[in-house]
């Protein structure tokens, strides 16, 4: 029993020794581990010390490189500044030279302009002088023409015929007819330049005025009408015949005033295909003298009805009918009124503003700005012109110089004029 107790104690002590031994071994092992760690730390610190030293050396070398680079950059900047300043100076010199050249050129231009202006002034003075000379020459020519025409007019007033003049004009007018109206195949009833008076009912039918109120309104201006031949001369036919109706009733003083108003003031001329009056010597004077002479012959008829009938027959004839009617009076009259219209148009305020081609002096050609011609004729001849314009809706009225007593009525449907009778 005691032995067992002793064994038990020994066993217990042995266990303690084993535990202590194990503890010591563990502690020893830990010491070895710690010693290794301490050894590693020591090596790492040494390595760190070595690396820091190397970094310091590299930093020193880098600072030196930076200083070298800075010095290099500074030197190159100085060189660049010097180059830029040199280029600036060169550019400034070029700019100054260009500016100086421009100033010199401007001075030359001003000098040239001054000389040019002086030349223009001198040219203007020369033009003014030449214009004054031309005006004087023109006035002298006009005065000479007036004297010549007045002498001729005296002959006409004395009813002195000129067979050579009349024969020449007949040849020219027939030549114009042969090249124009006689070439066309026209029914006989439409060959006459003037037709008989037609009634108000025929007027309404011709212009398609069917409304009773419009018919009543139309009668205020026109109760009958005459047709004129349908060619490009229709305006001058309608206007010219009515003005001739007025002329044959003028007093001698009124007729003399008209002659003084027209003689020597413009040139009578006409053109058509191969016919050119400006190529015929003395055509203008011959035509206007013959025109006035024939009117004077009609005016010598005492009976006004017979005077009117003679005018109608002379104006309507398209060919020679007898010894007294040669068919040329219409052509003479149309050339006169076209030439007068052209003169008034060229001297009107609207002449330069009208873009229409001036074909007034072309036989059987219509002029697009006829209303302007009507206005100028009304003012120049001191007549009241009533223009009735017909369209599909009825008619419109345009009046020119309504303050005048003598009246002409023109009927127009696009493309053709006729004569209105009140």
13 token code pair: 């002590």
CATH code: domain of residue 394: 1.20.1300.20
Q: Is residue 76 part of a domain?
A: no
Helices (H), 163-276: 163-179, 200-206, 212-219, 234-247, 252-262
List, in sequence order, every residue forming a beta bridge with 384; answer none if it has no partner.
407
127 belongs to a structural domain: no
pLDDT bin (cut points 50, 70, 90) of residue 51 is low
- pLDDT attached to residue 274: 93
Contact of 169 with 332, CB cutoff 8 Å:
yes
Stretch 232-239: mean pLDDT, rounded? 96
Strand 224-228: give its sheet, edge to edge: 194-198, 224-228, 416-421, 407-413, 384-391, 394-400
More confident residue, 109 or 141: 109
pLDDT at 153 over 50: no
Backbone angles phi and psi of 360, in degrees to 5: -60, -35
172 part of a folded domain: yes
Q: Quick check: is 291 in a domain?
A: yes
pLDDT recorded at residue 368: 84
Q: Is the pLDDT of residue 156 over 50?
A: no
Residues of the chain above pLDDT 90, percent: 52
Confidence of residue 159 (pLDDT cuts 50, 70, 90): very low
Spatial neighbors of 118 by CB under 8 A, at least 6 apart, are none
pLDDT of the residue at 78: 74
Question: What is the span of the domain harbouring residue 375?
Answer: 159-421
| H/E stretch holding 361 | none
CA proximity to 176, closest of 297, 284, 331, 389: 331
Tell me which of 115 and 7 has the higher pLDDT.
115
> Residue 81: inside a domain, yes or no?
no
Q: How many domains does the chain have?
A: 1
Residue 170 lies in a domain: yes
For the chain, the straight-line distance linking the first and the last C-alpha, in angstroms and rounded, comes to 185
Convert the pLDDT of each residue in 304-320 to its tens digit: 999 999 999 999 999 88
Structure tokens at 404: 């005048």
Give every CB contact of residue 337 below 8 A, 6+ residues apart in sequence.
Answer: 236, 239, 240, 243
Q: Minimal CA–CA distance to 264: which of 138, 135, 145?
A: 145
Give the pLDDT confidence score for residue 161 in this predicted structure: 83
Residue 132 belongs to a domain: no
Express each pLDDT in 24-34 by its tens digit. Answer: 677 777 777 87
What single-letter DSSP state applies at residue 362? B
Q: Do 290 and 281 meet the contact criterion of CB atoms below 8 Å apart?
A: no
- pLDDT tens per residue, range 85-113: 777 778 778 777 877 887 787 778 777 76
Q: Which residues pair with 416 in a beta bridge?
A: 413
Does 6 score more than 70 pLDDT?
Answer: no
3-state secondary structure of 227: strand
Pick the more confident residue, 352 or 46: 352
pLDDT at 149 over 60: no
Question: Residue 286: what pLDDT?
Answer: 95
């Amino acid at each position: 029993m005691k032995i067992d107790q002793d064994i038990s104690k020994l066993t217990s002590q042995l266990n303690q020794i084993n535990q202590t031994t194990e503890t010591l071994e563990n502690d020893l092992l830990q010491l070895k581990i710690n010693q290794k760690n301490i050894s590693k730390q020591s090596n790492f610190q040494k390595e760190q010390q070595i690396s820091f030293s190397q970094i310091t050396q590299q930093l020193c070398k880098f600072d030196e490189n930076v200083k070298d680079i800075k010095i290099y950059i500074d030197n190159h900047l100085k060189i660049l500044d010097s180059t830029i300043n040199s280029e600036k100076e060169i550019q400034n010199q070029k700019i100054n030279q260009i500016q100086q050249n421009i100033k010199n050129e401007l001075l030359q231009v001003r000098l040239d302009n001054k000389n040019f202006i002086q030349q223009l002034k001198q040219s203007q003075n020369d033009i003014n002088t030449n214009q004054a000379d031309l005006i004087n020459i023109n006035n002298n020519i006009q005065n000479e023409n007036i004297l010549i025409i007045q002498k001729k007019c005296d002959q006409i007033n004395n009813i002195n015929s000129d067979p050579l003049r009349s024969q020449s004009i007949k040849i020219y007018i027939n030549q114009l007819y042969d090249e124009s109206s006689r070439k066309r195949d026209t029914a006989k009833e439409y060959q006459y330049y003037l037709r008989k008076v037609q009634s108000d009912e025929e007027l309404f039918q011709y212009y398609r005025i069917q409304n009773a109120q419009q018919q009543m309104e139309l009668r205020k201006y026109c109760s009958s009408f005459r047709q004129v031949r349908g060619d490009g001369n229709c305006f001058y036919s309608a206007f010219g015949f009515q003005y001739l109706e007025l002329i044959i009733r003028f007093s001698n003083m009124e007729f003399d005033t008209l002659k003084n108003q027209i003689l020597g003031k413009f040139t009578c001329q006409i053109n058509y295909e191969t016919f050119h009056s400006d190529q015929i010597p003395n055509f203008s004077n011959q035509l206007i003298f013959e025109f006035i002479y024939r009117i004077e012959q009609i005016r010598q008829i005492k009976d006004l009805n017979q005077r009117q009938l003679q005018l109608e027959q002379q104006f309507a004839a398209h060919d020679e009918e007898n010894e007294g009617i040669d068919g040329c009076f219409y052509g003479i009259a149309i050339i006169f009124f076209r030439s007068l219209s052209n003169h008034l148009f060229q001297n009107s305020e609207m002449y330069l503003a009208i873009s229409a081609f001036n074909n007034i002096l072309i036989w059987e050609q219509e002029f697009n700005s006829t209303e302007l011609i009507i206005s100028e004729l009304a003012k120049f001849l001191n007549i009241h012109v009533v223009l009735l314009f017909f369209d599909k809706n009825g008619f419109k009225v345009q009046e020119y110089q309504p303050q005048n007593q003598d009246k002409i009525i023109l009927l127009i449907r696009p493309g053709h004029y006729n004569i209105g009778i009140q």
